[in-house]
Amino acid sequence: MARVAGVSRATVSRVVNGIRNVDPQLHELVWSAVEQTGYVPNRMARSLVTRRTGTVALVVSDSETHDDDPFMSRFFADPYFGRIVGGLMSVLRPATAQLALQMVGADGHKRLVGDLRNGQADGAVVLSLPARDPLPGLLAEAGIPAVLIGRPPSPVPISYVDLANETGAALAADRLVSRGCQRIGMISGPADVPASQDRITGFQRAMARHGHAWVPTVSGNFTQESGEQAMRALLASHPQLDGVFVANDLMALGALLVLRDAGKQSPADVAVVGFDDSSAALAARPALTTVRHPLEDMAAEAAKLLLLRIEEPQSRISSVIYEPSLVVRQSG
């Protein structure tokens, strides 16, 4: 194939193995030759030479053990996770890297690190859900290539990709106030999760700038059911509520159902703004005004950072922060 492309075998190897810093013209020549020759990389032979598996782990780290499967059900039901997988694969597939899903409970962190150290995968993209998760620190200490989606709860020498969550929550506050809402509440995520902390802080600070010194708040856990429960609690304690910011779209979907059952129309009686711009926002009735969370782009960037880290272990620890935007629909 090197002869067909008119380049060296080393160049072919770098292109086929997804290694960066190859001239774009040479990159195009090699893949053109791949198409002409029908070449298929031999993964086993490659692993013997490179000592790599060609596999990246997507690690979902939680605070509980899920042997009875409720978390697996949540993983496949929540559009958040599907969007992340799609973004990762948009980068990993062209690099001929496979993606392996790893669910890790409270008792599995050290075992996972041992498996990764022993070559189960070349590196990991990590979704860290607990507030005090030891996994990012364990991965960094072990020198395993890893990238977090979402900032770590405490400073750890590990690369991460995140959203400016405070800015996004401020956009929601500005939208509700600009609509003329006066009695505004919030349904937050768990207060000890970094993204939730940032959204709570961003919303409260923005509301304070608008003259609202206090915002009634009920927390959920990012599921539709918890959004329903939180909305019922807010209405019970503040029946005159005319606006609510909900910290993710699934909870907002639940909140809209409760408002409808209570005989309240949105946005006429209670304006609702969600967060994520997921498929749940379009499934809602009315369609949900929400803060755009570019998860696919963020996951793709995490995959790029990880592949670079795998190829160049001494590359700088880095962070990439994405800016949110407001998507206006019918709910608020």
* pLDDT, averaged in runs of 10, over the chain (332 residues): 52 56 59 58 46 85 57 64 93 92 82 88 88 88 95 91 98 98 96 92 98 97 95 97 97 97 96 95 95 96 95 92 97 95
Structure letter (DSSP) for residue 302: H
Q: In this predicted structure, what is the pLDDT of residue 78?
A: 72
**Could you tell me if 289 and 322 are in contact, meaning their C-beta atoms sit under 8 angstroms apart?**
no
The label of the residue with tokens 């690690």 reads 59
pLDDT tens digits along 237-254: 999 999 999 999 999 999
What confidence score (pLDDT) does residue 5 get? 46
Please state the φ and ψ torsions of residue 19, each to the nearest 5 degrees: -80, 140
Q: Which of 162, 169, 175 is nearest to 289 (CA)?
A: 175
The tokens of 303 are what? 């995959």
The model's pLDDT over 145-196, given as tens digits with 9 standing for 90+, comes to 999 999 988 889 999 999 999 999 999 999 999 999 999 999 999 988 899 9
Segment (H or E) for 168: helix 165-178
CA distance 144 to 135: 11
The rounded distance, in Å, linking the Cα atoms of 45 and 41 is 8
Of 2, 58, 73, 94, the C-alpha closest to 302 is: 58
To the question of pTM greater than 0.85 for the whole model, the response is: no
